[in-house]
């Protein structure tokens, strides 16, 4: 959809036009930068050829309800509205205010409310976003309007009205910070810690120290801050919590990470005195870690590919982001599989460790694999 505005003295005429790409159910716009607490004007054509105009508001990202006392009262222009054809347009006028650069939100739905009542339920939009209108531009004389009139139009050439050149809103800046921390935590630090354990455990006794420092001491604070910023961004946007898959999966993966850290601590500090084979929890810990990294990859992809455009209306990120993501997705499993080349060496060292433990006459305490390697390097 497209939005245009014409200032006529003390009033402004807004035209909401369908591009014809999808059938029109209803169109709406709001005077603000986000859905919460923004005065909205929603319009739809009816079967009798008339047009319904409904002024609404919402406290958060839910279906807006009728505002019985809007800041400015809008009036539908039945004569200028066109409800037939492939590119219908709906027109209304509203008293002018002091805006010169006007931020607006918009939404488009293919499902008609099916009623001319102003409080008719609305089916959720299929497209939405934010844009900015410039109410200082002079209409050209070819338009047939008064030269003293001014017009506003989206600052973007995109017919959808999405304008990524607009300044980031406070909640959008928090979303970006949330994304950066979570990418660093789940896509960089956790895989690096796992690969370090896979590659170095048969070569140096300090592999475990490096592993837990990366997985817990470094990744832990980064992940906690990332999750906290996600919650803050939802609060700032006035949106509901846990209302979509990205938010629910985010909390679920965070809980899995905490369980994984606890399991790692149990494996390290609680050991049977005589181990004849690798305990089951060790295998669980390894598989669990790979699962969390895989879910982290899925979560990051859903965040930038679906959640960001859906939440902000700013459009998709550059294609380069997707290219880098899939390269990383390919590199991680290849790197881990290459590290399995050291698995035979690891099993041989663990077998030597069992023999030394069983034949120890001085005490029954389990011997660390790293010390076995120092004593039996072959």
pTM of the model: 0.58
Average pLDDT over residues 195-202: 82
CA geometry: angle 49, 107, 314, nearest 5 deg: 155
* pLDDT for the residue numbered 352: 62
The CATH number of 2-134 is 2.60.40.1210
CATH topology of domain 170-344: 1.20.120
What percent of the chain lies above the pLDDT cut of 70?
A: 81
Q: Indicate the domain borders of the chain.
A: 2-134, 170-344
CA distances (Å), origin 74, targets 46, 67, 92, 142, 250: 18, 12, 7, 28, 41
Beta bridge partner(s), residue 103: 132
Mean pLDDT across 315-323: 89
Same CATH topology for 2-134 and 170-344? no
Contacts of 272 (CB under 8 A, 6+ apart): 279, 366
At 164, is the secondary structure helix, strand, or coil? coil
Structure tokens that stand for 142 in this block: 């070819």
Per-residue pLDDT for 154 more than 50? no
Confidence at residue 303, expressed as pLDDT on a 0 to 100 scale: 95
Q: How confident is the model at residue 35 (pLDDT cuts 50, 70, 90)?
A: confident
Nearest alpha carbon to residue 261 among 317, 218, 301, 201: 218
Instruction: Judge whether residue 124 has pLDDT over 60.
Output: yes
Which is more confidently placed, 249 or 125?
249
Q: Is there a contact between 103 and 32 (Cβ–Cβ < 8 Å)?
A: yes
Please report which confidence band the pLDDT of residue 378 belongs to, taking 50, 70 and 90 as the band edges: very low
pLDDT band at 258 (very low <50, low <70, confident <90, very high): very high
Determine the Cα–Cα distance for residues 16 and 100; give it in Å rounded to an integer: 19
pLDDT tens figures, 208-238: 888 889 999 999 999 999 999 999 998 887 7
CA separation for the pair 51, 80 (Å, rounded): 11
């Amino acid at each position: 959809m497209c939005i245009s505005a014409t200032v006529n003295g003390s009033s402004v005429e807004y035209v909401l036009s369908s591009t014809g790409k999808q059938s029109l159910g209803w169109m709406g716009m709001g005077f603000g930068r986000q859905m919460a607490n923004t005065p909205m004007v929603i319009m739809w054509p009816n079967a009798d050829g008339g047009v319904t105009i409904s002024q609404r508001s919402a406290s958060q990202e839910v279906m807006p309800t009728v505002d019985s006392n809007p800041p400015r009262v809008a009036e539908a222009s039945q004569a200028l509205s066109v409800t037939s054809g492939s590119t219908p347009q709906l027109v209304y006028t509203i008293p002018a205010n002091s805006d010169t650069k006007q931020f607006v939100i918009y939404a488009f739905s293919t499902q008609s409310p099916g009623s001319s009542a102003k409080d008719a339920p609305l089916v959720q939009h299929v497209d939405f976003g934010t844009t900015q209108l410039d109410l200082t531009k002079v209409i050209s004389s070819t338009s047939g309007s008064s030269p003293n009139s001014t017009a506003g139009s989206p600052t973007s050439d995109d017919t959808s009205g999405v304008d990524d050149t607009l300044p980031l809103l406070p909640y959008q800046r928090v979303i970006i910070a949330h994304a950066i921390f979570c990418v660093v935590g789940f896509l960089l630090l956790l895989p690096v810690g796992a690969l370090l354990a896979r590659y170095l455990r048969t070569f140096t006794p300090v592999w475990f120290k490096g592993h837990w420092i990366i997985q817990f001491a470094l990744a832990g604070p980064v992940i906690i801050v990332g999750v906290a910023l996600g919650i803050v961004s939802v609060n700032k946007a006035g949106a509901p919590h846990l209302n979509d898959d990205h938010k629910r999966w985010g909390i679920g993966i965070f809980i899995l990470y905490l369980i994984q850290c606890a399991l790692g601590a149990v494996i390290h500090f609680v050991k049977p005195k005589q181990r004849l084979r690798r305990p089951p929890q060790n295998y669980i810990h390894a598989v669990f870690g790979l699962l969390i990294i895989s879910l982290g990859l899925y979560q990051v992809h859903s965040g930038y590919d679906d959640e960001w455009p859906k939440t902000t209306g700013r459009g998709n990120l550059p294609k380069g982001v997707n290219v880098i993501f899939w390269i990383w997705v390919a590199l991680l499993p290849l790197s881990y599989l290459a590290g399995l080349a050291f698995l035979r060496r690891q099993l041989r060292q663990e077998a030597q460790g069992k023999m030394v433990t069983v034949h120890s006459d001085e005490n029954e305490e389990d011997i660390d694999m790293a010390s076995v390697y120092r004593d039996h390097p072959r």
